[in-house]
Structure 1
Amino acid sequence: MRHLKTTELRGSTALTLKDGGEDDPNDIVTKAIGDLTKTVNERLEEIEKKADTSKLEDRLDKIEAKANRAKDGGDGDADESAQVERKAFGTYLRLGNQTPPDEIKALTVSSDPQAGYLAPAEMSTEFVRDLVEVSPIRSVASVRGITSSSVKYPKRTGITNAQWEGEAEESEESAPSFGQLEVIPHKLTTFTDISNELLSDSGGAAEAEVRLALAEDFGKKEGTAFVNGTGAGQPEGLMTNAEIAATVNGSTSAIDPDKLIDLMYALPAMYRNAGTWGLNGTTLATIRKLKDADGRFLWQPSYAAGQPETILGRPVIEIVDMPDVASGTFPIIFGDFSAYRIVDRLAMSILSDPYTQARKGVTRMHATRRVGGRVLQAARFRKLKMSTS
């Protein structure tokens, strides 16, 4: 009896044919190959069905995208990774060892010999800020709130003219003269953009800081206008009012102590007794250095707790927007500051707008303030002029 063996077909499968059968050996071989091919194809299809090709493709796409960003040198991937780390860290704090493996992988950002997990970077709620100096005119001036577009103050500009007359003489008519002063509130406005990411990461501290920055900016702009404002589109300042009289110092560089006395007593007693000195810190330092003929300092500071320092018995306020001592300047003003009127039409309003700039990922904050200021009685003030005439 003869035996016919076929070669190995696709693996270790072998087929042995024997003579004496009625079927053609070639047909049997062909049929066996066909059955085997069918079996292999069916098993491959089952494997493909079990494999989630869509997830695999998604992972490959993400890997390719990260590789492209790394080539371009972008920082978007770093920001995304930081967000993933923060989220994973929060999950770990809640679940501990029950944290899903994917979250654990996100936490392992570097080698840790103790097999622990590194905390992501933290956004501090404490802001570092510079000092903003504001002229304190509002603290000593007369402040009023109004509900209209302006306020008008009647002003008497003259008195009657009485005359001495003899017996049987007719008296003559006289009448006081009147005028009015109008104080108009002016608008101060700006807006600022802040990223939504910073708003969320700071836990609300960033928004509070922006509001504080706006308040400081508006306060500084107001204080400057109350001192040096032109009156056109902004409040009228004390130093720009042309009706306030001046005392000439007699020198362009050195303050004469005697002229400070002249300046103070140039005002009527009622205004003088309610007066306050206004000058900046540099001028204050200059006055504190003044000495008499025996070398003793003229300005003696207050040693009693709670008592302000004074010049010639009257209090002092430091106004940062006043000029320094220089030729032709007015470094000192003295008077009753209640004669300067500040009117508030609208307190500072801050509107948070998260919609119009949403495509840029920022929130726009609009700030508006309406305030006016003007000298109502110039006779209550007097300035020192650094001049010889």
Structure 2
Amino acid sequence: MPVRDRITALRSRQAEVHAEMDNILAASESNEAGDLTEEQTAAYDQLRAEDDRLTASIERETDMERRRAAAARPMAPLPAGNPGSRSTVPTQAEQKLAPGIKFSRLVQAVAATRGEGGMRAVLDFSEKTWGSTFAAAAADNMEQSVDVQGGFLVNTDYSTDLIEALRPAVAVRKMGAVSVPMPNGNLTFRKQTGTSNAQWMGERAPVPTSAPEINMVAMKAKKLGALVPITNDLLRYNSIQTDNLVRDDVTLSVATEEDQQFIRGAASDFAPAGLRYLANAANVIAANATVNVQNVRNDLGKLRLALTKNNVPMRSPGYIINPTLVEFLSQLQTSTGALAFPEIEDGRIGAFPYASTTSVPDNLGTAGNESELYFADFSQILIGDALQTTLAISTEASYVDAAGVTRSAFQNDETLVRVIEAVDLNTRYDSAIAVLTGAAWFPGAVAGQ
């Protein structure tokens, strides 16, 4: 039986022993003096002795597992020309890993070593599992990570790899928002609130003062934490499928929260303001209550005009929209029966790309049938990434699942991964975001269609 399976079996039995001990203590409360009877005392002492033996066995198995991981290194290949030469872990051709796979493997290595032995043990496990080529490329980066109280402070390379995996899953990142590093978790920049003034001038006349209206904006890293339960069955059998599944589990949890906060989140001391609250008040536009093709076109035009009339550069413009509204626009027909927005099948609304996400709700308004549309020049949206991800694991902690049920990682044979990143969001241009509110656009909203 593999070491990990033996440890799991021992801990499972230990949990049963603890439950039996609790039952004996609970039963003693009904005794006349509240003390254990002679029979209960004998049973409790027997269980306590078994618990001590189990604890010692678990410590031995865990120590053995750590020692094996630390000792696992590729053997140096024999001299060239020796037909029998091969390494313990075959040397592999260097390959370009998909975004997030390096971070996924770091999660797996920390989980396998249970965070014991520091980054050296993590690196040794990586050498054993993914081969010498991957280990050689990872060595410098892993050694720079720091073992801190509460987990590993992951270095810039691995934090960047996580961000690249988040990009297609977070609408604001996907649409081209600019990721900027925040040294020490802070960044101050100028935010333009108006345009500069230029004037025609006569011969030898002084050049008029010309300066845009600006404010100073300070970005400060806000902590985003995610708890991700991963089944140990998955971690036991390493493969590229495992790499992908672990990456997807971790990024989904982080991406979902980023997506919601970056779009509609209200600012607080602990969370950044989303696009809805970064938008200039004049750029928050109410949709026409009468839903027809012309009014829909007019509303979309108002969003675009809100940016262009304020000289927003429009380097990376686009929409963020709920899937229900995408479906509505894909079915919307003109009076002749032609599709009003045929280009939506190609990922565009008019000339501009869009990202579809349920982080924009479609149940707003008193009737619960309204949504919002966001139009922005995403080249003016800044995501401050502190690039200081903290990674920790536990096989004993509990968590609350999506159904509100408290689950034990130990009882369910899971490893609980905690990922903490630090981010902030802001805009360089005061009018780079426009929001259409009250859009009751849903299939069937137009009479006769």
TM-score range for the pair, normalised by the shorter chain length: 0.5 to 0.7
Match of 1:224 among 231, 239, 260: 260
Is 1:350 aligned to 2:387, yes or no?
A: no
Contact 2:287 2:299 in 1 (8 A): yes
| CA shift in 2, pair 1:311/1:161, >3 Å | closer
Letter in structure 2 aligned against 1:137: V
Question: Which residue number in structure 2 is paired with residue 319 of structure 1?
Answer: 357
Is 1:234 aligned to 2:271, yes or no?
A: yes
Q: How is 1:143-222 mapped onto 2 (pairs within 5 angstroms)?
A: 143-158=179-194, 177-191=213-227, 202-203=236-237, 212-222=248-258
1:41-88, CA deviations, whole angstroms, 9 ceiling, x for partnerless residues? xxxxxxxxxxxxxxxxxxxxxxxxxxxx9xxxxxxxxxxxxxxxxxxx
Q: Which whole-Å CA distance do the structure 2 matches of 1:194 and 1:323 have between them?
A: 29
Question: Which residue number in structure 2 is paired with residue 340 of structure 1?
Answer: 381
Question: Which residue number in structure 2 is paired with residue 372 of structure 1?
Answer: 424
Is 1:264 aligned to 2:318, yes or no?
A: no
The TM-score with structure 2 as length reference comes to 0.46
Letter in structure 2 aligned against 1:336: D
CA positional deviation for 1:220:
1.1
State which drifts further: 160-169 or 370-379: 160-169
1:4-63, CA deviations, whole angstroms, 9 ceiling, x for partnerless residues? xxxxxxxxxxxxxxxxxxxxxxxxxxxxxxxxxxxxxxxxxxxxxxxxxxxxxxxxxxxx
**Which structure features the higher share of helix residues?**
2
Q: Which whole-Å CA distance do the structure 2 matches of 1:173 and 1:373 have between them?
A: 32
Contact 1:150 1:183 in 2 (8 A): yes
Q: Which whole-Å CA distance do the structure 1 matches of 2:212 and 2:301 have between them?
A: 34
Question: Which residue number in structure 2 is paired with residue 137 of structure 1?
Answer: 172
RMSD over aligned Cα atoms: 4.3
Question: Which residue number in structure 2 is paired with residue 116 of structure 1?
Answer: none
Is 1:284 aligned to 2:326, yes or no?
A: yes
CA positional deviation for 1:252:
6.5
CA positional deviation for 1:346:
2.8
| CA shift in 2, pair 1:162/1:194, >3 Å | closer
Contact 1:330 1:386 in 2 (8 A): yes
| CA shift in 2, pair 1:253/1:147, >3 Å | same
Contact 1:134 1:320 in 2 (8 A): no
Question: Which residue number in structure 2 is paired with residue 309 of structure 1?
Answer: 347
Which is higher, the Rg of structure 1 or of structure 2? 1
Matched-pair identity in %: 21
Contact 1:252 1:387 in 2 (8 A): no
| CA shift in 2, pair 1:217/1:147, >3 Å | same
CA positional deviation for 1:379:
1.3
Q: Which runs of 5+ in 2 are unaligned?
A: 1-19, 21-167, 399-408, 441-449
Q: Which whole-Å CA distance do the structure 2 matches of 1:312 and 1:319 have between them?
A: 19
| CA shift in 2, pair 1:149/1:289, >3 Å | same
Letter in structure 2 aligned against 1:332: L
Letter in structure 1 aligned against 2:377: D
CA positional deviation for 1:182:
1.4
The TM-score with structure 1 as length reference comes to 0.52
| CA shift in 2, pair 1:180/1:263, >3 Å | same
CA positional deviation for 1:164:
7.8
CA positional deviation for 1:330:
5.3
